Amino acid sequence: MESYRILIADDEDDIRDLLEIYLKSEGFEVATAVDGYDALQILEARDFDLIILDIMMPRLDGIQTCIKIRQAKGIPIIMLSAKSEDMDKILGLNTGADDYVTKPFNPLEVVARVKSQLRRYTRLNDYMPKSQDEIIIGGLLINTASHQVKVDGKDIKLTPTEFSILEVLARNKGRVLSIENIYEDVWKEPFYESENTVAVHIRNIREKIEINPKEPRYVKVVWGVGYKIDHNP
């Protein structure tokens, strides 16, 4: 069985040690960092499959670290924070994080989130038969083998979670999917999060693929029902 590499960046020794114990017990390779600068240096020296980032860290916090990581890497990022307010969660997701866990947490929940993100990321990067590689909707092209998205020929950078949501919508072109449908299809677990998790990711997708997000050509909201992908010329 392949051993995935996880990087934990948190300035609290107890948190790092706890997560390291639980993740290693599941067969993961684990490295730790005490702040954002430390994490970026470790990432320069070695590849990782997933990163767990605490938001509140000295020198370089998790938000700024996430932004710098996203400039070069598309691997999953899970944010940790002692704050539970929606604005903190939205800020983390807007900077490119794929998931968010609030302290205090059950370490088994974090392990489950790690596995969920890795399943999705691995599936997105697995080889698929050439005939199934591309989904084309108007000027939107989604390549499920290369994890590439183009709009009118222009490359669009999406996080793994954003890509998964866009792919789910594209494979169900014209069909309205509820937030619960999208969450359970992408996260592969029962829906229990607030609606903000899916809504924030979709808003980020629209900002990236739409010329005018307020008048979208592709990803559209059906008020009170959910979202769908279609194409307006």
For the stretch 110-136, pLDDT in tens is 999 999 888 877 765 543 434 467 888
For the stretch 148-178, pLDDT in tens is 899 888 899 999 999 999 999 998 888 899 9
**C-alpha span between 207 and 225 (Å, rounded):** 21
Residues 30 and 24 sit within 8 Å (Cβ to Cβ): yes
Final residue in a domain of this structure, among 103, 125, 147: 125
State how beta strands 77-81 and 99-102 pair: parallel
Whether residues 57 and 39 share a domain: the answer is: yes
Whether residues 104 and 61 share a domain: the answer is: yes
- Split into its structural domains, the chain has a count of 2
Whether residues 115 and 138 share a domain: the answer is: no
- H or E, element range at 63: helix 62-70
Final residue in a domain of this structure, among 77, 99, 125: 125
Whether residues 215 and 152 share a domain: the answer is: yes
Structure token pair of residue 230: 């279609």
Whether residues 80 and 141 share a domain: the answer is: no
Which amino acid makes up residue 73?
A: K
Structure token pair of residue 205: 């997708």
Domain span including residue 32:
5-125
Cβ-Cβ contacts under 8 Å for 220 (sequence gap 6 or more): 227, 228, 229, 230
Whether residues 20 and 97 share a domain: the answer is: yes
Whether residues 27 and 111 share a domain: the answer is: yes
For the stretch 10-19, pLDDT in tens is 999 999 999 9
Across the chain, mean pLDDT equals 86
Whether residues 78 and 182 share a domain: the answer is: no
Q: What pLDDT, on the 0 to 100 scale, is given for residue 97?
A: 87
Instruction: Please give the model's pTM, rounded to 2 decimal places.
Output: 0.63
Exposed / middle / buried, residue 21 (Cβ in 10 Å: 0-12, 13-18, 19+): exposed
ω into 216 cis (within 30 of 0) = no
Specify the CATH number for the domain of residue 86: 3.40.50.2300
Whether residues 88 and 157 share a domain: the answer is: no
Cα torsion 73, 96, 159, 100: sign: positive
Whether residues 112 and 205 share a domain: the answer is: no
Final residue in a domain of this structure, among 101, 125, 149: 125
Specify the CATH number for the domain of residue 194: 1.10.10.10
Whether residues 87 and 18 share a domain: the answer is: yes
Residues 32 and 16 sit within 8 Å (Cβ to Cβ): yes
| First vs last C-alpha separation in the chain | 47
Confidence of residue 8 (pLDDT cuts 50, 70, 90): very high
**C-alpha span between 107 and 52 (Å, rounded):** 12
Whether residues 73 and 178 share a domain: the answer is: no
